[in-house]
Structure 1
């Protein structure tokens, strides 16, 4: 999500990784390339912020809602599946704030779907329960839910105070959750 070239590569080549029916292709060269690229991206972040002072927050993209979904599902949603839904939530919320366009948010959701990952909140998890569980996220400060956002595709949003996460009003999160359920 923080590397536009890699994101575009995945959009163009997902069919070399997984079939439309959701079966993994497991091409050794392709898997090696994906793993190396992901490790390179994460390593660069960790190397710059070894002790989690600020930049490493970007590795929590999608995790505010994702971890809450994972726990509320009783771990029926695997970590990656829950984070995929969390990524859609942050992208849609980010579009509302103008950090990315609706088209970019659509691209995020489409890529995750193409990868065979869920992109919708399970029906058995209520918006209220999800919102309440987000308050247990490690980025919560002074009783306020914080999100990490993309700055379009290929960049991470850095805020005026230098932080990579920002508080979001509960009412705005709830409004988005209700909208996401309505457009199913």
Structure 2
């Protein structure tokens, strides 16, 4: 259901119904009684869909990693979108403001190295085994650590190449 194309809009009730119907048709499975988490890379829309399916919304780990790297090397601006009333047009307008601008981030290399170190920490079988009871108690899925080869499959294409200070 995650790869289903829906070009006619992102209305949350319709997307939730499409997902539920897809699981019923393909797997004869009642999605609403079995699903606890909804994972997606589009947090605002996924939150709305998760509310309609009555699940908790979680961010996709690959999306979070992409955000961390993008912010870490200064490729992304941290933005906030607000809806404000426009008196002149008598309508609601979306206004995007930059909370933290992108650009040079001297500690970006160190941050990415810390992400690698964290990933390497959980690559060890001992650490993964220590994490399993926590994952089971919280009903979280078991996650495997990623290798550099795995990351290469999911890289994004930055609009320009930048030098990251401190990255080895």
Instruction: Answer whether TM exceeds 0.5 for this pair.
Output: no
Q: Whose helix fraction is larger, Structure 1's or Structure 2's? A: 1
Q: TM-score, normalised by structure 1?
A: 0.28
Higher relative contact order (CA 8 A, sep 6+): 1
Structure index of larger Rg: 2
